[in-house]
Amino acid sequence: ALTIGIVGLPNVGKSTLFNALTKNQVLAANYPFATIEPNVGVVNLPDPRLDVLAKLFGSERILPATVSFVDIAGIVRGASEGEGLGNKFLANIREADAIAEVVRGFSDDDVVHVDGTIDPKADMETINTELILADLETIERAIPRYEKEARGKKIGPEVLTAAKEAQEALQAGTPLSSASIDLDPIAELGLLTTKPFIYVFNVDEEILTDADKKQELAALVAPAEAVFLDAKIESELIDLDPEDAAELLASTGQDESGLDQLARVGFDTLGLQTYLTAGPKEARAWTIGKGWKAPQAAGVIHTDFEKGFIKAEVISFDDLVETGSVQEARAHGKARMEGKDYVMKDGDVVEFRFNV
């Protein structure tokens, strides 16, 4: 499964957030792997549509999609030089498919800031710099090898070109995700600044309720997504029953918990989407990549579904709710028979037809 690595400077609230995430963790039954590593938190992707489907179909249970987070131990200034946990940190971050960077926005005189002041912009720059330096080192180690391989015609010239362009961008302080370079030829290097980023601002209640301030912080990281939460409130929320939790959220001007927001934004940033199935046994969301076609999507349920794919009967969630049942949707021409070239859309309610 694709994972999101949680990173951030020391004392920004990573552990508080991660503990809340793991407390919120889905039960093992919902998750295809028996044991979950201690530094991994698997949470449900909130999807109110499943509740609606479960009511329509009288489903016994609801199975949402999940999102996996990995807690990646502390980055510090000098991580790229292998200081402290630096090397382990870089190896862990290399394995993550997207990065959620926790940035401290809360002030609390009892919690020391590693660099002395609360300055989200400076903190982000510290981390960016470490990642850029780490990538630069990777590139500079690879270039002599690429030069040799290019001379021996083992690789095409595009590999060296990509490496040199990347080196130049990094030297100018540009993360590779913001440079318009074709990095496919050097994908094997697993460069850190190519990964999609989400910024998680761990802020005080005053900021949570201050739209202007949030706008200002979001603008610092755009086009990357920003999520605002108060890690302390999040860790209180998970111990409350739904009504009290809703009340506490409302008092901070939110209608969704920060953890739920993070799950949604994270799932999207990983390039994932869902389609839905429903019946008397279960209402379920299935995880696929954006742009996947129907047979590949069917393969997520069972490989036989992909191999023997004939067609998919697709009803959009909205049409299904409006007509009230599959039969009515069919009667109103809202159930489409789609073939193997159909590109799945988020919220498709699907039944596959296949040969065994």
As a whole number of angstroms, the distance between CA 325 and CA 314 comes to 13
> Which residue's C-beta sits nearest to ligand GDP?
13
Please indicate if the annotation marks 16 as binding a ligand: yes
Please indicate if the annotation marks 8 as binding a ligand: no
Q: Which is nearer to ligand GDP, 105 or 185 (CB)?
A: 105
Please indicate if the annotation marks 258 as binding a ligand: no
Q: Which is nearer to ligand GDP, 111 or 343 (CB)?
A: 111
Q: Residues with Cβ < 8 Å from 258, sequence gap 6 or more?
A: 200, 227, 228, 229, 230, 231, 233, 234
Applying CB under 6 A, which residues contact ligand GDP?
8, 10-16, 106, 108, 111, 202, 230-232
DSSP class of residue 173 equals T
Please indicate if the annotation marks 15 as binding a ligand: yes
190 closest CA partner among 229, 135, 150, 243: 135
Distance of closest approach, residue 229 Cβ to ligand GDP, in angstroms: 8
Distance of closest approach, residue 162 Cβ to ligand GDP, in angstroms: 35
Distance of closest approach, residue 11 Cβ to ligand GDP, in angstroms: 4
Please indicate if the annotation marks 117 as binding a ligand: no
DSSP class of residue 27 equals P
Q: Residues with Cβ < 8 Å from 98, sequence gap 6 or more?
A: 2, 3, 4, 5, 195, 196, 197, 198, 266, 269, 270
Q: Which is nearer to ligand GDP, 161 or 252 (CB)?
A: 252
Distance of closest approach, residue 108 Cβ to ligand GDP, in angstroms: 4
Burial 280-307 (b: 16+ CB within 10 A, else e): eebbbbbbbeeebbbbebbbbbeeebbe
203 token code pair: 């802020």
Please indicate if the annotation marks 325 as binding a ligand: no
Q: Which is nearer to ligand GDP, 44 or 235 (CB)?
A: 235
Distance of closest approach, residue 231 Cβ to ligand GDP, in angstroms: 4
Q: Which is nearer to ligand GDP, 6 or 285 (CB)?
A: 6
As a whole number of angstroms, the distance between CA 326 and CA 117 comes to 59
Annotated binding site for ATP: 11-16
